[in-house]
Homo-oligomer: A and B are copies of this chain.
Amino acid sequence: MATVGFVGLGQMGAAMAANLIKGGHTLNVYDINKDAVAALQGQGAKACGSPAETAEGAEFVITMLPNGALVRNVLLGEDGVVSRLSKDALVIDMSTIHPLETDALIADLAKDGYQMMEAPVGRTSDHAIAGTLLILAGGTKEQIAKAQPLFDLMGSDTVDAGGPGKGIRVKIINNYMSIALNVLSAEAIALAEKIGLDFDTAMSVMGGTPAGKGHFTTTWPNKVLAGNLDPAFMVDLAHKDLGIALDLANQVGVPIPMGAASREIYNISRTAGRGRQDWTAVLEQLRELSGLETKAK
């Protein structure tokens, strides 16, 4: 059993720290919210007066904070964690922050011989309480192995994202996709409702197509991901149908700005000569615009 410093006892952090205590670890906790500290103290944690103090004798220091500036301040600011951190200890940032801030923090700590990895989490506060979070681990194999016993108390699944900084990157990608998709879904359903369809009717169709199931496991695997752009459904036809939807939405008065933006990518793809390729070729087009290697031909 280890001594673990824990800074950041919000809805998520408090639950995660509690599970580490239940697992038998010794917890040094800190938060600017004194009530949150007291609550953990009641569960057996040691209350600390500063981030620095949580690092006293700790093998791990975990941070779970709202943004990167706070993480930096907690680690490197006045009375910060590193001022009393052992060079054998492992700092684990479990916050969701900007990946370039994560990179900079890992590098800044490494300059002085300190070790840090990141492990942002997925799922909800209910999962935090139940100890069934999804842990997106970014670190060396050794760091992840060392932290695994803690992860197993806080979560039910750990993904090794592929190295330092990759955990926060996969978290941001996942959030990007789900947060933007939420709006696109709302555009589709608002349009459906405005033209007289109800959610159940729309779902009776979309539940069986990429509209509801997504493309990652349906249209993409045998096409663009396999380097095959022979058309099952041509870019030109997708562009045409999208034009009908945009015209309809503008006639009935439903704003669909994401759809409008997406058409311009089909537009660019057609001008680039992809009109008769499979519609999954838009991935190739975005790779090209991103300076990435394209994979199909």
CB–CB A185/B216 < 8 A: yes
Secondary structure call for the A interface = helix
| Given the contacts A243-B250, A248-B100, A261-B260, A205 and B287 also touching, CB distance less than 8 Å | no
Give the interface of A toward B (CB within 8 A): 67, 96-100, 122, 124-125, 134, 136, 157, 159, 161-162, 165-166, 169-199, 201-217, 219-220, 225, 232-233, 238-245, 247-251, 253-268, 270-272, 279-280, 282-283, 285-287, 289-292
| Given the contacts A99-B195, A204-B159, A292-B194, A182 and B255 also touching, CB distance less than 8 Å | no
Q: What would be 27 A-B contacts, judged by CB atoms less than 8 Å apart?
A: A98-B244, A100-B248, A159-B205, A162-B198, A166-B196, A169-B192, A169-B196, A169-B197, A170-B201, A171-B205, A175-B211, A178-B206, A179-B238, A179-B242, A179-B262, A182-B210, A182-B262, A182-B282, A183-B266, A185-B220, A193-B290, A194-B292, A207-B216, A214-B214, A255-B267, A255-B290, A271-B289
Q: Which residues of B contact A271 (CB under 8 A)?
A: 253-255, 289-291
CB–CB B215/A290 < 8 A: no
CB distance from A35 to the nearest CB of B (A): 20
Give the CA-CA distance A257 to B254 in the complex, in Å: 16
CB–CB A286/B169 < 8 A: no
Q: Which residues of B contact A190 (CB under 8 A)?
A: 283, 286-287, 289-290, 292
Give the CA-CA distance A117 to B255 in the complex, in Å: 29
Give the CA-CA distance A96 to B243 in the complex, in Å: 12
CB–CB A181/B215 < 8 A: yes
CB–CB B209/A217 < 8 A: no
Q: Which residues of B contact A213 (CB under 8 A)?
A: 214
Known pairs A180-B187, A239-B250; list 10 more (Cβ under 8 Å): A98-B248, A161-B201, A172-B248, A176-B188, A177-B184, A186-B265, A189-B286, A190-B292, A243-B247, A243-B250
